[in-house]
Amino acid sequence: MSRMGSPTLREKAYEAFKERLFSRDIRPGQFLSQRELVAVTGMPLGAIRELIPRLEADGLIKTVPQRGMQVAHVDIDLIRNAFQLRLILEREATVEFCRNAPDELVSRLREEHVSVQREAEKGVTPELLERAQHMDWMFHDTMIDSMGNSLISSVYRVNSIKIRLIRQGDTRMLPELVTSVMREHMRILDALVARDERAALEAIEAHIDVARRRALGV
């Protein structure tokens, strides 16, 4: 962010790149030129040139000699590495959240999940699917951010982009997964409400392992 608090052109370009990635206008493994990035993001060439080093540092693109820039592609190494990092960070965050999260926050998160779970039992509409997906991301982000460590939050956000790249294949929130994902979250939340660290860790580990296995197809 700039000193005035408004996003810079490079930051806007980064957000535009993410949006196009998540909407599948930019695909994993795709080769792109700078001018193609200008066209697909709608950002000026200068902003794209400033953006590229950040995307390279985050591992979202790499320069391939004589071929151009390649968007990170989903393979077994990416899946294993991204989920291993996610597990390491979320285990620490779960313990911290279990010990220090305000009761009212934990209760509110649980109530929101109960509401979605009940609606899902009657049928998953597109609106409910979108809400459940947002709740899924928000729940994990909330626990990570509760640690109050901006470096960890930043690393987690970049890794989340890679997780969402993977989710374009087998781990995105599908209608038939809403109930099971909410059930997994409820196990975590029930343990958090009880302030049971061991149960919370077991639940978060099981939840991440299910997503990892789905991505690996095992």
The yes-or-no verdict on residue 125 having pLDDT over 80 is yes
Give all strands of the β-sheet with 31-32 in edge-to-edge order.
31-32, 68-71, 61-64
**Does residue 14 carry a pLDDT above 80?**
yes
84-88, 149-153, 178-182: segment of lowest average pLDDT? 178-182
CA angle 56, 61, 67 (to 5 degrees): 115
Number of Cα atoms under 13 Å in the Cβ half of residue 69 = 19
State the pLDDT at residue 178. Answer: 82
Query: What is the predicted pLDDT for the residue at 162?
Result: 93
The residue-averaged pLDDT of 85-89 equals 98
